[in-house]
Structure 1
Amino acid sequence: MKRHLALFLAYQGTAYHGFQVQKNALTVARVLQDAIAAALGSREEIKGCSRTDAGVHALAYCVSFFTASGIPCEKLPLALNAHLPADIRVFSAREVEPDFHARYSCTGKAYLYRVRNAPAASPFSYQLAWRVWPKLELQPMRRAAALLCGQHDFASFMAAGSTIEAEGGSTVRTVRSFEVEQKGDELRFMIEADGYLYHMVRILVGTLVEAGAGRRDPDGVPAILAARDRAAAGQTAPAKGLALAKVFYDEFTLDGGGELWA
């Protein structure tokens, strides 16, 4: 009888075209399936918790799959990491109920977006943060973030060309918290919600950056939401600054933790 397992992993997405398997493109899922096949002796179908885009990172990511392998959960990370590149790492594994699904059992996710607010990019974080200059004002961005919390129709913050059908039939989402913190030259945008539209976090961050730059009134957020029009919101922030940071389930929470985001 096959066991149903959940893996907790993290990855730097710079070299990958997102998580999901694609034809003629290197993805995290493909590399992980290769490692599972090598370590467990069988190539398994895997379910990922999020459809991260090309260049997006994950501090916390959940994958579920069935396997006939008897390798104990505590030994799986070592076995899999031996076949994975350094930019993908499995941290733990656990057995879950047969009806558990990494994506559909998820009750919410939190994303972290990094902005380097400095005249020059850092050679240590240029692949992990969006450099923005001139200086951004923190309070207008915090004001806009506060107005975005709660249940709203986020159609204005959905990528152009995406459809309501593709987003599960509704563009209404609940943002549980949205914080903007500054640490030296770095701004960190942390958002937690029950779900997200395509490019939603990147458009939210792009809009807040415009408010911080003085190009947009933070009190105009309600009008942006009411417009239900992508053109009403700000720019789409680059993928490289975005990372999935926490994944929530009824059974457990995966938290990437600040120490993983050097």
Structure 2
Amino acid sequence: MSSFRPKGVRSLAALAAFAALTAATPMDPANPTCPLNPNWSTSPTMTLTPAVRNGTKVLLAEGRIDAGLPDRLTKALAANPETEEIWLRSPGGDARAGNAAGRVVRSNLGIITRIPSGWACFSACNFVFMGGQPRLVDPGGLFIVHMFTRTGDRSAIDMSVAMGTDATRDLIGDIEQDAALLASEDNDFLIRMGVSRKLLTEVMYRQKAIATEEDKSTRRCLTQDEVKGYNVANNDGG
């Protein structure tokens, strides 16, 4: 397992790095708890790259989460059995694939998930991260949440509108049913991973899924106190 520097030295170094990062990072006016441009990778499909960082064997997981990620992650961990940590940087993607990938991580007991300083893990990435045991969010690392939704599928919505009222009504019913099912799955996942379900009720489900003219905020960056309070992170980062 990875080695850590003495806690006082580690904490001072991490806080100094975080202070330097925040001083140079413009914040997002629409999402005031978050930076304007989170470092969550623009790769259209999450890449999994074995690497060594400070003597620790890690898997760099960077990019958008797609339906094929759980299978790729299973194969990557099998091919690299000495992996100690998974470092995450992602804008999210397929919510159910994120849950499945989180279960893959948890099935490999003892693998640490980490959001390093300067990296961001958003949306479906949250659930991949939660599979780790233990989990680390370094000072300056961003665990960013929002309300999950299917209404981002503009092509399906536009098609249903073109087909008329009945088709639109059917799609809305499907969205509502799927959203309720996803909420149940998310709740079950958090319980299994040892994360407080209050993260859903107090934070995630209080965020808007889609920006409005009155309120453009659609995401929330958790503080270090919050990631520890909700047991998102269950060890000291740094």
Q: TM-score, normalised by structure 1?
A: 0.26
Q: Which has the higher strand share?
A: 1
TM-score normalized by the length of structure 2: 0.28
Q: Which has the higher contact order (CA 8 A, sep 6+)?
A: 1
Q: Which has the higher helix share?
A: 2
